[in-house]
Structure 1
């Protein structure tokens, strides 16, 4: 996306879809703020719309692929919780790298320093939900998976700043609840929630 049309017209473009969203002809692409908005064709020509999502600019896509590998491995046809645990290893690593990073809309400036394009990005809550929700739902009956999830969440809670802890705590509570719903034996539930970086190892 080029900022040239907005700079020429002294306008600010607010991207409506997030990077990675599916759009169809007629989907609103930008909201324009400014006294002299560029012609729609000028705005459209400044965008590069691809067919497939990529990890180059799309924060959620890498997580999406890892989650897909995990839930595919947990399907009854495959039944490979070890592969799911390996996906959780990478998810844990990525979240640990992001836990201290700032989130929020990205602002692109022109050469004079004026904001010309505002791009929405997923916030911390969205990323954490994407990382854990589907794996928790599919893996609640697999102690190898639940123990690895517990270890990931507990470790992230140790390193997360206070404002990042709330959603991690909520995911930990949801994990406890999912295990309780899937395992009726109290001893099995206790075992399934012991944090273990190897799952069972």
Structure 2
């Protein structure tokens, strides 16, 4: 006999897809912020390490060149032509803002 809890579990497990895509892009945004922090600290008057700051900017630029041609997920899951789930996603604009603002 199928009780209510098992029935709810089956409904959820058949209608929700768990994926690591968002975790990967959230990790990318975190990595970008970490690199920006390194560049900011390297260019501070106390450190005065312009080579590190320039190296970070070069890495961010190279990453941006690789990201632009990719089709990043929109965060909208569609089933039978209708949106069924909206999850937060990272867009290229968000990464650019994190890199250079």
Q: Same fold (TM over 0.5)?
A: yes
| Two-structure CA RMSD over aligned residues (Å) | 3.4
SS of equivalent residue, structure 1 residue 102: coil
Once the two structures are TM-superposed, the CA of residue 59 in structure 1 deviates from its matched residue by 2.3
SS of equivalent residue, structure 1 residue 58: helix
Cα contact 1:105–1:120 (8 A) shared by 2:
yes
Partner of 1:124: 92
Partner of 1:146: none
Higher helix share: 2
5+ residue gaps, structure 1:
20-54, 110-114, 134-201
In structure 1, C-alpha distance between the alignment counterparts of 2:56 and 2:44, rounded to whole Å: 14
> TM-score of the superposition, structure 1-length normalised?
0.35
Q: 1:118 to 1:80 in 2, by over 3 A?
A: same
In structure 2, C-alpha distance between the alignment counterparts of 1:98 and 1:89, rounded to whole Å: 14
In structure 1, C-alpha distance between the alignment counterparts of 2:39 and 2:29, rounded to whole Å: 15
Once the two structures are TM-superposed, the CA of residue 119 in structure 1 deviates from its matched residue by 2.9
Cα contact 2:76–2:84 (8 A) shared by 1:
no
5+ residue gaps, structure 2:
1-7
Give the paired residue count.
Answer: 85
Cα contact 1:12–1:116 (8 A) shared by 2:
no
In structure 1, C-alpha distance between the alignment counterparts of 2:56 and 2:70, rounded to whole Å: 22
1:80 aligns with 2:83: no
1:8 aligns with 2:23: no
Greater C-alpha radius of gyration: 1
List per-residue Cα deviations over 1:102-153 (Å, max 9, x = no partner).
Answer: 232164x9xxxxx8764311212111111111xxxxxxxxxxxxxxxxxxxx
Once the two structures are TM-superposed, the CA of residue 66 in structure 1 deviates from its matched residue by 0.9
